[in-house]
């Protein structure tokens, strides 16, 4: 018997039947082994270990789920876009499994509400939505097999796009798009980043985006990466009249 099946979680989830019911509603099947899903929704801050001292949280399942998502989406695109070239398929897959897209899906499914951590008032980071979705995918695979997992992925990630053309037009990284545009037109760009605590208790970063020494846009968020992405998104719309648009850089 796998060590995962021996773990008891009664001290974590107060209402076992309620959790099992939530998982059944979420995946459309009754779990065969609820332990997989409890691990998928156990935050690392729980600091739980098994009888061998190995850490128990969703991170290992997240790692497995990431690879399973790639395999599922790659197979789907291969069969459903027979005229597309390798570069186009790669770009499409990247959009579907992008952190932004997985976060959106995880948030729509309200996965954080099922997760457990010591301090219930402590908020998860936004990326936790995508992390939990990947862990859930792995849990379904281990519990019910590839076919059930594959159908779940298609229903949650692909079916909302009744036409794959909608996904082809989805921008997942304004920063990458902006940098590609600058390189193509030989523009020099620069991110001027500085800490900005402002009136918030949490540390923030502000960024000024300059093109050819001219400030084009600004952004502010809780991380440098997010602030840059916000600034690039604003620059994208500000520079529409100069021909910046989404283009495939992977075409051969």
Catalytic residues: 66, 134
Inter-residue contact 137 to 152 (CB < 8 Å)? yes
Q: In this structure, what are the phi and psi dihedrals at residue 142, rounded to the nearest 5 degrees?
A: -70, -30
Rounded to whole angstroms, how far apart are CA atoms 192 and 210?
8
Q: Please list the residues that pair with 209 across neighbouring strands.
A: 191, 217
The residues, ordered by sequence, that sit 6+ positions from 127 with a Cβ below 8 Å of its Cβ are: 99, 103
b/e sequence 194-207, b meaning 16+ C-beta within 10 Å: eeeeeeeeeebbbb
């Amino acid at each position: 018997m796998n060590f995962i099946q021996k773990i008891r979680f009664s001290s974590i989830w107060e209402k076992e039947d309620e959790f099992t019911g939530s998982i059944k509603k979420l995946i459309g099947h009754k779990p065969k082994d609820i332990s997989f899903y409890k691990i998928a929704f156990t935050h690392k801050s729980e600091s739980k270990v098994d009888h061998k001292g190995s850490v128990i949280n969703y991170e290992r399942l997240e790692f497995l789920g990431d690879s399973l998502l790639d395999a599922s989406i790659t197979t789907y695109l291969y069969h459903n876009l027979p005229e597309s070239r390798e570069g186009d398929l790669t770009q499409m897959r990247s959009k579907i499994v992008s952190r932004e897209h997985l976060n959106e899906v995880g948030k729509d499914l309200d996965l954080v509400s099922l997760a457990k951590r010591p301090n219930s008032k402590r908020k998860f980071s936004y990326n936790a939505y995508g992390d939990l979705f990947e862990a859930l995918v792995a849990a379904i695979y281990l519990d019910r097999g590839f076919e059930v997992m594959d159908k779940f992925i298609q229903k949650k990630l692909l079916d909302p796009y009744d036409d794959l053309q909608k996904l082809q037009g989805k921008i997942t990284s304004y920063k990458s798009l902006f940098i590609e545009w600058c390189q193509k037109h030989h523009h020099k760009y620069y991110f001027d980043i500085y800490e900005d605590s402002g009136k918030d208790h949490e540390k923030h970063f502000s960024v000024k985006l300059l093109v050819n020494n001219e400030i084009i846009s600004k952004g502010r968020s809780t991380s440098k990466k997010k602030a840059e992405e916000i600034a690039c998104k604003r620059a994208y719309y500000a520079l529409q009249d100069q021909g910046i648009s989404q283009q495939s850089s992977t075409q051969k």
